[in-house]
Amino acid sequence: MATPDGYNTYPIVGIVGADDNNNDFASAAVVPNADGSVLERLEDIHVQQIRTVKKSLLAAALTSTATQFTISGGPVVIKHLGALTKVAIAAGSNTLKFSTTPSGGSATDLCAATDTASAAINQLFIVDGVKATALVKTTDAGIAVAANEHMPIILAPGVIQTIFSAAAPATGALDLFIEYEPLVPGASIS
């Protein structure tokens, strides 16, 4: 059957696939555009999607103030920020809080300090979004109920630090986690 005049004779399959040797064109020039072509809209959705970053800390790192995450490229919306105990933390006196320092600015606490001593495996510590509230240490290991969460928090480029109040415990390990959404193209957390 002949293709009628005015119809595209190139199959769409070639432009929907990956940018590899199986396609008829290179898609590397596609840019995010919410009002553009299907490919540009898909790229825009990818750029704006919620992202997560995880960082593991062993017992020796559960002390002092240290930069854990860096925000670059523009502001981001923090959906969740916290820590999960991967190895039980020994008894002793040590507290944890998160703070942020914007580029060219000064440090500001994101929460008040909470005792980390004797935290069980899968104990969660969650920033609830109110600066004056202590980092929430969940009562049941492995379960965080977000009913009282006042998130999100919008942060400008800069860093997010952990602040531990005392020397490192004898045992323990935390996985820090952050879930965020970029507010402008190119904004990210590493």
Q: How many CB atoms lie within 10 A of CB 128?
A: 20
**83, two tokens:** 């820590």
Query: Has residue 33 got a pLDDT over 80?
Result: no
Supply the pLDDT for residue 147. Answer: 54
- 133 close to 151: Cβ distance less than 8 angstroms: no
Question: Which residue, among 46, 27, 75, 99, has the nearest Cα to 187 in the 3D structure?
Answer: 75
Cα separation of the two ends of the chain: 55
As a whole number, the mean pLDDT across the chain is 84
Measured CA to CA, the distance from residue 176 to residue 162 in angstroms comes to 9
Confidence at 178, pLDDT banded by 50, 70, 90: very high
pLDDT in tens, 130-162: 888 899 888 777 777 765 577 889 999 999 999
Domain ranges of the chain: 1-49, 50-189
| DSSP state letter for 29 | T
Q: What is the pTM of this model?
A: 0.74
Peptide bond into 169 cis (omega under 30): no
Confidence at 50, pLDDT banded by 50, 70, 90: confident
**Architecture, CATH, for domain 50-189:** Sandwich (2.60)
Supply the pLDDT for residue 44. Answer: 76
Q: How many CB atoms lie within 10 A of CB 84?
A: 22
- 124 close to 47: Cβ distance less than 8 angstroms: no
Measured CA to CA, the distance from residue 155 to residue 160 in angstroms comes to 9
Phi–psi pair at 131, nearest 5 degrees = -55, -35
Residue of 25 and 37 predicted with greater confidence: 37
Confidence at 34, pLDDT banded by 50, 70, 90: confident
CA dihedral 79→85→89→91, nearest 10 degrees, is 60
Supply the pLDDT for residue 26. Answer: 65
Measured CA to CA, the distance from residue 189 to residue 187 in angstroms comes to 7
Query: Tokens 């933390």 map to which residue?
Result: 89
pLDDT in tens, 62-104: 999 999 999 999 999 999 999 999 999 988 878 999 999 999 9
Supply the pLDDT for residue 22. Answer: 54
